Amino acid sequence: MSLVIENGWPRTAEWTGGELRLGGIGVRDLAAEFGTPAYVIDEEEFLARCALWRDALPDGEVHYGGKAFLCPQVVRWLDTAGLCLDVCTGGELAVAMAGGMDPARVVFHGNNKSVAELRRAVAWGVGCVVVDSFTEIERLAALAAEAGTRQRVMIRVTPGVTAHTHEFIATGGDDSKFGFSLNAGLAAEAVRRVLAEDSLELAGLHSHIGSQITDLGGFTLAAGRMAAFLTACEDEHGVTIPKLDLGGGLGIVHRPGDPVPPSPAEVVAALRAAVPSRVRLAVEPGRSIAGPTAVALYEVGTVKDIPGVRTYVSVDGGMSDNPRPAMYGAAYTAVLASRASDAPERPVTVVGRHCESGDVLVRDLPLPADVRPGDLLAIPASGAYQRSMASNYNHVTRPPVVAVRDGAARVIVRRETEEDLLRLYV
């Protein structure tokens, strides 16, 4: 079975009489039972993608990047699949705890963790804290000493590599809010300072160059620089630095015709080739696990033809459940998912229901000319950075996540209600 998804759809996606089925269930039934908009996540796909990474790195560590999509059920899937978890806020830490994650398998990231978050992480016994600033090294050392423990840490390094991706999601260059610059000598100083703290144990070095990367060049370059830096630090200080965590970042296909990224096995092979075999490798894939697992399901509400200009198809979600087109110019596709149509195709622009002209989900998309209110549209590759970045803009409630498998569906994140929203107001 090919594990690189070249068309964006999860492996159980099939069409019967023009209707899309996911995990053995038709989207009309899913919409009738759970409403729209909804994210439908394919459990089999999620577990298979975890296994793909784990099998690519059997002698290393795979930390799922929880920022892509996290809820207690995801934590339980990670546990089943034998993966570790990367969190980057106290909130993500709380979800890890709620899902029953073993703290030893949690890595805690973030460029501005609060003292309270660090204290909680140390008390819970997180496996590793990735230190990101000199201030944090001091803070964490004091907190670990106060708790009477020796906290394992990795040092986040920016290796001066500019990934080929959107500028907002490139993180490995010298001008970055994340980590310690290698070129500016800050990373070397961070190593000195961590080694000087009795309450900290230097477990490894870390870098993450960016996200939605579809070629190996940046990964290889960063791995080589990090490996050389690790060796130089070991030589300078006469210590062993056992681990190199090279982050996440592998991209996915959103639309047929998008560049097909390398497979996890190819990424790991490239990293391994650049890093001495004595060093344990870790990776932090988020999007490449969660992204292709979910489909966003919407109902068409209105169709507006502006002769000679454009046809707008409005759906019942939008930038609040998928901010990526507006934030990064991300390009998606959508299909008519609830029925067959013989109508000729014509280009339309699929928009959301927000009070914002930039609330566009898919631009210039060929759809059958008879698309009408009540039809369901499905957008594949919606499993990463969509529910996790969803907002309540315009007091829209956030959609549920429905897991499908073997003909059964269950809610793993329920739909938000207006009651949920109003509960915040005093």
Ligand X SMILES: Cc1ncc(COP(=O)(O)O)c(C=O)c1O
Ligand Y SMILES: N[C@@H](CCCC[NH3+])C(=O)O
169 near ligand Y, judged by CB under 6 A: yes
CB 211 within 8 A of CB 249: yes
Active-site annotation holds for 355: yes
Query: Which H, E and C letters describe 9-23, residue by residue?
Result: CCCCCEEECCEEEEC
CB 406 within 8 A of CB 316: no
- 272-311 footprint of ligand X as x/- string (CB under 6 A): ------------xxxxx-----------------------
Question: Distance between CA 88 and CA 204 in Å, rounded?
Answer: 17
CB 52 within 8 A of CB 250: no
As measured in angstroms, the least distance from the Cβ of 267 to ligand X is 10
Q: Which of residues 353-382 bind ligand X (CB under 6 A)?
A: none
Annotated binding site for substrate: 287, 324, 328, 356, 385
Residue (250 or 403) nearer to ligand X, CB: 250
Q: Which of residues 84-123 bind ligand X (CB under 6 A)?
A: 86, 109
209 near ligand Y, judged by CB under 6 A: no
132 near ligand X, judged by CB under 6 A: no
Annotated binding site: 249, 284-287, 324, 328, 356, 385
* H helix intervals, 134-278: 134-147, 186-195, 217-237, 264-274
Q: Is the peptide bond before 37 cis (omega within 30 degrees of 0)?
A: yes
Q: Which does 247 bind (CB under 5 to 8 A by kind): ligand Y, ligand X, none?
A: ligand X
As measured in angstroms, the least distance from the Cβ of 193 to ligand Y is 25
Residue 188 Cα distances to 16, 103, 183, 184, angstroms: 59, 29, 9, 9
> From the list 151, 181, 212, 322, which residue makes contact with ligand Y (rule: CB under 6 A)?
212
Annotated binding site for pyridoxal 5'-phosphate: 249, 284-287, 385
As measured in angstroms, the least distance from the Cβ of 361 to ligand Y is 14
In terms of Cα–Cα distance, which of 114, 40, 51, 123 is closest to 80? 51
> From the list 324, 353, 398, 405, which residue makes contact with ligand Y (rule: CB under 6 A)?
324
Question: Distance between CA 341 and CA 18 in Å, rounded?
Answer: 8
CB 353 within 8 A of CB 316: yes
Q: Which residues of this protein are in contact with ligand X, per CB under 6 A?
A: 65, 67-68, 86, 109, 171, 208, 211, 247-250, 284-288
Q: Which residues of this protein are in contact with ligand Y, per CB under 6 A?
A: 67, 169, 211-212, 324, 328, 385, 389
Annotated catalytic residues are: 355
